[in-house]
Structure 1
Amino acid sequence: MRIDLHAHSTASDGTDSPAELVRAAARAGLDVVALTDHDTTAGYREAIEALPAGMTLVPGAELSCRLDGVGVHMLAYLFDPAEPEFARERDLVREDRVRRAEAMTGKLVELGAGITWERVREIAAGGAVGRPHVASALLEAGVIGSIDEAFGREWLGSGGRAYVAKHELDPFEAVRLVKAAGGVSVLAHPRAVKRGRVLPESAVAELAAAGLDGVEVDHMDHDPAARAGLRGLAAELGLLTTGSSDYHGTRKKVGLGAETTDPEVYERIVGRASGAAPVRRD
């Protein structure tokens, strides 16, 4: 069984629609794929309706968090999307993401970058507009040579000329909200140092004590040493370890199924969840 527990669609910052995503997962030879768009469940219905025969969809989300100035992403699986408190928080984060993207675009216009808010919204194609769509507009306008360049200090990265802060959850609150909604929480790419500062091991230990279920270990942004260190830490703290592609369609080079989760770990995630169940098309 091949399982990829981290993928994005046009409901946030991927380039595949939810329907295209599940069909691409089937072509990639996956048996299970998780839809984990940023702070939204908007793609669920389309993905479920388009599920190919034999494919299982894990409903999820990737939550935007921050702790002591460090950006943290939290994967949430199989929670009740209608649970009111958690739904309100996701709405707040998502709405502020759009405000932030518009403010960043305004700064870039002032800097003479040659992009427009209208074009950024077109690139988002109906999904929640975010920083990656602004980055795509910069690339399209020839201002930068790669998407990665957009997230550096020159442009949209922390401290960059067009950077704007956004509303983010405290990760301890995120763990609490996910658990209260019957879901399972996994810390996404916790050693992705090329993205900026990462959480110290002491903070991961505190999150584990607060109810964190797992850590994403096998990820394109983790080198062998980071993976080995995370496996050791997870064993020490009793955390599950997952692997996934963090697929964003053509926005990133990695393909679906590039990294996968052990079936036994997947079954333990499903067993811990009470808010929702995987959806399978027979």
Structure 2
Amino acid sequence: MRIDLHAHSHVSDGTEHPAELVAAAKAAGLDVLALTDHDQTSGWAAAGEAALEIGVGLVPGMEISCKTEAGVSVHLLCYLHDPAHAGLIEEIEKARDARITRARRMVELLAEDYPVDWDLIARHSIPGGTIGRPHIADALVTAGVVRTRTEAFAEVLTARSRYYVGHYAMDPVTAVKLVRDAGGVPVFAHPVASARGRVVGEETFEQMIEAGLLGLEIEHRDNPEEGRKYLRALALEHDLIVTGSSDYHGTGKPNRLGENTTSPEMLQRILEAGTGSAPVGMPDLF
């Protein structure tokens, strides 16, 4: 059984409609897919309908953008949470609003040197979707400034660039607590992806675990092997769920569906722990 628990649709920064994403999962030979758009759950309904029609198990989820007091970015995957939980919604909406304000300021700065404006950014997102740097990157590709989204991040949108603007994100410990309160299963996404920027130290891991963190995404292309060894030891010590995922974004990134997978045993633990929402069309895992 092939299980991929980290994928994005065009509701956030993927390039495919949620139903198209589910169809792509089927074509890639997956049995179960998790939809984990950034700070959004509005793709759940369409993905669920497609999952039932096509015959793919769907785990509703989300990827929450967090930041430590030291300014280190943390991404927290959550599965099977209540999408109507008031406390979680409040924080997610604050983050989404901050992303829009940040994106507008970045576009203002970019427009001083490149042929981009907000209308061009809007063409690369959907109404109500989560707007972020990937959409700005796609606009830069359309404008002919760079060839690919990856090139845009490496050369123009890097955190070291003069065009970069930070934005509000909740503390990861707070996020873990809110996800648990919402009946969800919090899993630390690509925790040691040092190529993306700074990563948290042992103290943050311990604080998140104490707050109720239930899993670690270990098998991910951005986690270096030495870091994976550390994560495996940490997971063993605290009896954490271990996942492997693609972090698929359609044509937005080179990641391919199913390039890393999660075992049925670990998915079963997620299904047993999540009480805020229900999976769709789940196959018999054993």
Query: What TM-score, normalized to structure 1?
Result: 0.95
Q: 8 Å contact 1:53–1:281 — kept in the other structure?
A: no
* Structure 1 contact 63–75 (Cα < 8 Å) conserved: yes
Match of 1:140 among 139, 142, 146: 142
Residue range with higher mean Cα deviation, 24-33 or 220-229: 220-229
| Cα distance between partner residues in 2 of 1:122 and 1:129 | 11
Identity between Structure 1 and Structure 2 (%): 49
CA contact (8 A) 1:4 1:261 kept: yes
CA contact (8 A) 2:80 2:184 kept: yes
8 Å Cα contact 1:182/1:275 also seen in 2: yes
Q: CA deviation at 1:268?
A: 0.3
Distance 2:282 2:219 in 1: 27
Q: Give the superposition deviation at 1:145.
A: 4.1
Partner of 2:241: 240
Match of 1:254 in 2: 255
How far apart in 1 are the matches of 2:80 and 2:126?
A: 26
Counterpart in 1 of 2:272?
A: 271
The residue that corresponds to 2:202 in the other structure is 201
Aligned to 1:102: 104
What whole-Å deviation, never above 9, does each CA across 1:181-201 have from its counterpart, x for those lacking one?
000000000111111000112
Q: Is the 8 A contact 1:205 1:237 kept in 2?
A: no
Residue 58 (structure 2) pairs with residue 57 (structure 1): yes
Name the structure 2 match of 1:13: 13
Question: Structure 2 residue aligned with 1:150, among 149, 152, 156?
Answer: 152
1:12–1:38: 8 Å Cα contact kept in structure 2?
A: yes
The Cα shift of 1:230 comes to 1.3
Please tell me whether residue 213 in structure 1 is matched to residue 214 in structure 2.
yes
Residue 100 of structure 1 deviates from its aligned partner by 1.3
2:87 match: 85
SS in 2 for 1:10: coil
- Mapped to 1, the partners of 2:29 and 2:186 lie a distance apart of 26
* SS, match of residue 137 in structure 1: helix
Return the offset for 1:139: 2.3
| Worse-matched range after superposition: 213-222 or 230-239 | 230-239
Q: Which runs of 5+ in 2 are unaligned?
A: none
Q: How many Å separate the matches in 2 of 1:32 and 1:98? A: 32
- Per the alignment, residue 229 of structure 2 pairs with 228
| Partner SS for 2:78 | strand
**Match of residue 24 from structure 2:** 24
Structure 1 CA distance for aligned equivalents of residues 50 and 234 of structure 2: 38
Contact in 2 for aligned 1:2/1:261 (Cα 8 Å): yes
CA distance in 2, matches of 1:161, 1:215: 33
Letter in 2 for 1:139: V
Cα deviation, 1:73-98, whole Å, max 9, x if unaligned, reads 00010000011111121111112212
3-state SS in 2 of match to 1:136 = helix
Q: Compute the RMSD of aligned alpha carbons.
A: 1.5
Q: Deviations over 1:208-230 (max 9, x none)?
A: 11110011000011232222221
Aligned letter for 2:280? Answer: V
- Matches of 2:282 and 2:220, distance apart in 1: 27
Whether 2:71 is the aligned partner of 1:69: answer yes
Displacement of 1:144 after TM fit?
A: 2.7
In 2: Cα distance, 1:264 partner to 1:103 partner: 45
Alignment coverage as a number of residue pairs: 280
Cα distance in 1 for residues equivalent to 2:149 and 2:244: 24
Between 224-233 and 180-189, report the one with greater CA deviation.
224-233
Are residue 47 (structure 1) and residue 56 (structure 2) matched?
A: no
Higher mean C-alpha displacement, 270-279 vs 158-167: 158-167
Q: Letter of the aligned partner of 1:277 in structure 2?
A: A
TM-score by length of 2: 0.94
Cα distance, 1:281 vs structure 2: 7.2
Query: CA offsets per residue over residues 26-73 of structure 1, 9 Å max, x none?
Result: 111111100000001011111112223431111110000001110000
Secondary structure, counterpart of 2:6 in structure 1: coil
